[in-house]
Structure 1
Amino acid sequence: MMDEPQVTIGMPVRNGGQQIRTAIDSLLAQTHRNIRLVISDNCSTDETREICREYAERDSRVTLHEQPVNLGICGNFRFVLMQAKTPYFLWACHDDIWSPEFIQRNLENLMAHPSAVCSTSRVAMVSLEGDRHLSNGTFALQGDKVERLRRFLWDPGEVSRFYGVFRTEALKRSFPEDIDVFGYDWIVMALNLLEGEHLELPEVLLTREDHTVDHYQKTLVRWEPRRLYRWMPHLPMSRILRDRLPAEVWKASRRGVLRRNAIQTLMYAKYRIPVMAPLVNGLASLERARSRTRSNIRVGA
């Protein structure tokens, strides 16, 4: 008889298509077997619901919620988290692939470090064209909370730490209901870093689909009718962080938040005014080179 599950996997999805089969198969093949997979289908218009029903019918570890109304991306991520009754939790996207030992290795890492609230492996980002690079958003964040938040908000990278293994109750406290803004995942990670440290395993145990920069700009245009918040999409996020972070943490982190606002404005300018692309690309190249240097130092340490 299988023990009570230790880990809930929350998979929020809308129109996952055939990619979701590969994702679910890799999750159900984890070496740590005591899991619960909670899928929340957010009004899909393709075959996603039918595929997920198949898995729920043949594997008792899988539960499917078919949402009657669209919860939005942020709302659907929060929904699956709030279903968790296990000590540990991770989010899963329909287009990602996990190595069999992903959960086991990160769970062992958390158990060995009581002060930590998150553990992730390194993450490979792979584009539809097959280009591959390491995510720059999984680096460990340890030490006191002021230093953790300062380092994170200065350069959060691709925020792939969002898909690590978390202590459930600490993560629930980090995800308020009223943060449905562009960059909500950064807010959740910032609030979670108030709860404790984030760890990184040196191995690549997760592969994620890498979207183009324009993917996020197109999403912004589609969902944000206000022109100001298209040009300054992180302004609502910044206000939430200012109001929710302790004063000493905000004081140490606000320069990084301002920097993120400037970078996002430049990326939107590149999208809306193509003539600015060479300038923005040049600045982005400098950022990538600096990130690769930092990553190489960590790997070689």
Structure 2
Amino acid sequence: MSTPHLPSHPQEPHPIAPRRVSFDWHATPLLWIPDEPTATHVINVLHLLLPAGERWFVKVFKEALPLVRDEQLRTDVKGFMGQEATHSVQHSTVLDHLAHQGLDTAPYTRRVDFLFARLLGEQPPFGLPLTGQEWLRFRLSLIAAIEQFTAVLGDWVLDAEGLDRAGPDPVMLDLLRWHGAEEVEHRAVAFDMYQHTGGPDPARYLRRALGMAVTAPVLLYLWGWGAAYLLRHDPQLAARSRYSLRAHNQAVRKGLLPTWRELGAAIPRYLRRSYHPSQEGSLRTAVAYLASSPAARAAAGAVGRAALS
């Protein structure tokens, strides 16, 4: 593989490290946003996608880590991997909680597992004539594109006053905001990793654009399919409840979901040649939430007690 391009760091380095949080779901209802099944289950799609997806992030980054020549980036990547591994575990516990409440997600998540483990595994699928180098670079471009959306969603959930007004389950809201804050905190790492290992332009930029061209429609499809699956199989709803765009848009107007404009505008920003994800969200807001998050504070306290013992 050719010599990687060293990334530029347009902002002061911020330490990225996993927080070993845990959440107690025993009191969390299935509809954790009261009387809002569509908003609840549109957000719940995160739990369907992220356990397998974030395990895949870590696997791909492990493949690429030996190529990193910049020490600050190497440190950031290791912190990113630790955070993503923790996210995967914590969202998996939500799936267990949903199953305990009678909502079996396995038929959906098996297909997500297949997507990440087989279609996006170490070898190109279907005998595609790609070198190992090019296949790794393409998968890194997908992760960078996905992280663009997770940064936007993370920034949104930190300021989602509509969720606060709706009286959601506080444990679920803390999970979402802890995760969202860490997404903002490490929002530039996947992009910097891709830029560092993606080879020279113009191929590097074209592959970055291709990564977004693949990621955006696939995420939209998976999200719609996932929301429809959850609504249809929720045992507390009327038989075979359906996802509807009308109900989704009503939830958007209430501030329970991000607007289509917020999500769509992330794409042209990302495609600007001068773009860098440090432009996304507020690191100050993210760090402030992490300092107040019940789960993050409990994790920090546990670390402190262990250090003193």
Relative to the length of structure 1, the TM-score reads 0.31
**Structure with higher RCO (Cα < 8 A, 6+ apart):** 2
Higher helix share: 2
